[in-house]
Structure 1
């Protein structure tokens, strides 16, 4: 190849990577600023008023918490006990047993003295067949309803709960999640604090419960995870929820609500057809659909975000399970972006089309691919003897230092805002994780994204996979 042409190609590649890096730096800096402003605004707004009054109000809206369960026998009884202990009057806990192959249903029946009841079901039922509906014989468990159905996946289970619920709002959570007692009070306040816009959904921050002490369905003691893989995920979740989603919430452009803690206006959720059973990224896809629905009708609306630590969940401590999880997230991301591709830089959708969608496209989808092929490009350039060492070392050092600064800021802002981890040792441990994450944890995440995209683009059959629960730690 002509040396002049090769030089032009290399310069073009350098410009592309430099531009991409500068844009990402600018976006993350803006996210840090917006999340800080939103956090301060949220704290000031919620520093007065007693949310417990909502619980006693006769006007408090009804809520159904829908929790799909598949092979959750190890933790199901404790998880339900936690959901039944929430500080709210007008709510129902609906556990949908999605064809579990273990003793999930048997444990629920034994622990809560459940009996099958007769209930008329729509003959035009679209979800998988329901095998039975159960209620407890004891008044103390009157809020609990258990639906036993054939396996159809998480989306199918959530749609079943939505269809059988008669309440104004539905909360779609993972059954292994532990909600703090005041969680529903914060959710209801978020739905009702707007006067000019209809709140169609409320999401929240997800905290990691690995190694925390749980007793009687209550969070007794917050501890830093002992497992290093869980520590890295804690750092990642802190950045994502405390800074990332808080920033998007500030400009009302949030495009995803975590499946572990998401509450919806049931009327709107059903109007868009509920969850899509043909995607593994159902939590992101339903928010896209609901936002589009409101945009197309030109109705004022918003999606609220709660930064308070209300939901705690267990994360994978096994590398293989983690890769399967992130593989699934990548496939769901690509499916949703492709399905709603007409939003890409479409001014019709305002900030969603001009900011949110492009961010998800370039950073959440494209960035891992560029990283992966960029790594092999570096090896190739080194082999050919054409690697620009000065540029490579300069941009690598810059990216590394920026990522550390962003992680440090997320850790320290979390300490300032909520101070969940009070030991200096824990904070220093998280900072150590930030220093080594780019070399240890991040490559796993990138590889998982590549694998997920490969499976989706080349139609490799793959489903949800499975996650083995260890169960929450209990006080001795």
Structure 2
């Protein structure tokens, strides 16, 4: 390589490194602000004994009844335990509607046999378009348990069918492998009840059930998996929910309510057109569309996140399925941003257009590309020697701060506020693994998310296969 070519490469590395460094500093400043807001919010929420206010909801006459929708496609492994957990929750009035979305396994047969379901004549009004319903079943044991058997149309279509069949003004979307804590609904519905209709959506925390002891749909003992790939997902969820969503929710900037556990006003969702069939990120797309509708109607409605109500779900235990999940999530993120690109920097949509949408584009969607570029710069800097080695060390320290340190803070935030893990050894393990995140786990997720961008460019669609073992020990 000639002197001129060598000089050009040195300049590229140097300029690229400073671009990466500047970007990471801005992101770190943003996350630091979010961390401060989260600390303050959680401190206000947990400085008092809040058990009694939640219990009072069981007695009040103005509690809102809820329809719990559980879309199920090939969920035989965990569906019984999930439904059992729903039938034992603490809440005054609710119904459980399982939507069998054309499963090819024995999901429907297991529900019919285990809950003594019988076919009923039920008129379902078509408020939102969905695939045809073949039959509706009701349990002879539990009068508030229904199963809808319909033709396959995907998760969004199943949820739309469930909304059409629901009887109550609020609905909750739950994954078929989810296990709820008994008081989760009391906590996730409290903001809706207290706001007298101003809150039209509320989401709770999602935690990893792998490693926990669950029997007949009940959380018996909270534990931690022995598999490093699962432990890192536990840390990742803590960071995303306790730091990201607490801070965003505080200022009504939340664009994601997890499809695994979220409550919405049926009236607003129907007026928004229901779930979108043409995206793999239907949960985020719906929330963005609701914000858009709120702003266009000049209403002062809010969508909030509540840290304490917990829904436990099964996480992928192999890199194969985790890779598919993260690539799919990233495709869904882009689809939601692209569908609602009109919101970007549009004064009509206020802080959603000027803060939330740009954040999800430049930090969440394009962030992996910048990080991958930074990793490449670090590697080249080590080979160039001299001052570039010091530069590579600086870039690594910034990456460590953004990756590992914030994850460590999320673990401390969990222990300081919610304290879901009873064993001190579990907290120590989480803290240790979060320290290693920047060394192996984050580079992997960066590659998988970049793969999602490549799939978006190639217009690859579909969910990809996800094999579930089931987190509940059924009996």
TM-score category by the smaller chain?
over 0.9
The alpha-carbon deviation at position 357 of structure 1 amounts to 1.2
1:329-382 superposed Cα distances (whole Å, 9 cap, x missing partner): 010001111111122223322221121111111111111012223434555666
8 Å Cα contact 1:88-1:184 kept in structure 2: yes
Question: Structure 1's 258 and 29: CA in aligned 2 closer, same or farther, altered over 3 A?
Answer: same
| C-alpha distance in 2 between matches for 1:249 and 1:152 | 32
TM-score by length of structure 2 reads: 0.94
Change (3 A) 1:378 1:59: closer
Q: Give a deviation string over 1:247-291, Cα, whole Å, max 9, x none.
A: 111122111000100100110011111110000001100000001
Gaps of 5+ in 2: none
Query: Counterparts in 2 of 1:178-327, with a 5 A limit?
Result: 178-194=179-195, 198-327=198-327
Cα–Cα, structure 1 residues 14 and 437, in superposed 2: closer, same or farther, change >3 Å?
closer
Aligned to 2:353: 353
Residue 56 of structure 2, aligned match among 53, 58, 67: 53
Are positions 1:75 and 2:74 aligned together? no
Deviation at 1:418, TM superposition (A): 1.6
Once the two structures are superposed, residues 210-240 of structure 1 have per-residue CA deviations (whole angstroms, 9 ceiling, x without a partner) of: 1211122211110111222110000100111
Could you tell me how far 1:125 is from its partner in structure 2? Answer: 7.0
Tell me the residue number matched to 1:471. 470
Aligned mates of 1:421, 1:108 — CA distance in 2: 32
Post-superposition offset of 1:88: 1.6
The answer to whether residue 120 in structure 2 is matched with residue 117 in structure 1 is yes
Give the aligned partner of residue 65 of structure 1. 68
* Structure 1 position 78, deviation (Å): 1.4
CA distance in 1, matches of 2:415, 2:274: 37
Query: Over the residues paired in the alignment, what is the CA RMSD in angstroms?
Result: 2.3
Q: After superposition, give the CA deviation of every residue in 1:68-124 in whole Å (9 maximum; x if it has no partner).
A: 001111121111111111112310000000000000000000011111111234479
Partners in 2 of 1:248 and 1:327 — Cα distance?
Answer: 24
Could you tell me how far apart the structure 2 residues matched to 1:399 and 1:123 are? 51
Distance 1:60 1:402 in 2: 42
Q: How does 1:449-464 map to 2 (within 5 A)?
A: 449-460=449-460, 462-464=461-463
Report the 3-state secondary structure (helix = DSSP H, G, I; strand = E; otherwise coil) of the residue aligned with 1:58. coil
Counterparts of 1:309 and 1:60 in 2: how far apart (Å)? 17
Which of 4, 8, 26 is matched with 1:23 structurally? 26
> Which secondary structure does the structure 2 equivalent of 1:95 belong to?
strand
SS in 2 for 1:100: coil
- Tell me, in whole angstroms, the C-alpha distance in 2 between the residues paired with 1:201 and 1:123: 22
Distance 1:233 1:4, change over 3 A: closer
Cα distance, 1:67 vs structure 2: 0.4
Q: In structure 2, what is the Cα distance between the partners aligned to 1:180 and 1:119?
A: 31
Tell me the secondary structure at the aligned position of residue 396 of structure 2: helix
| 372-381 or 60-69, which deviates more | 372-381
CA apart distance, 1:412: 1.2
Q: How does 1:357-368 map to 2 (within 5 A)?
A: 357-368=357-368
User: How far did residue 173 of structure 1 move?
Assistant: 0.9
Deviation at 1:467, TM superposition (A): 1.8
Shift of 1:166: 2.3
Structure 2 match to 1:135: 138
Measured in 1, the distance between the counterparts of 2:50 and 2:325 equals 37
Shift of 1:448: 1.4
Query: Who is 1:166 aligned against?
Result: 167
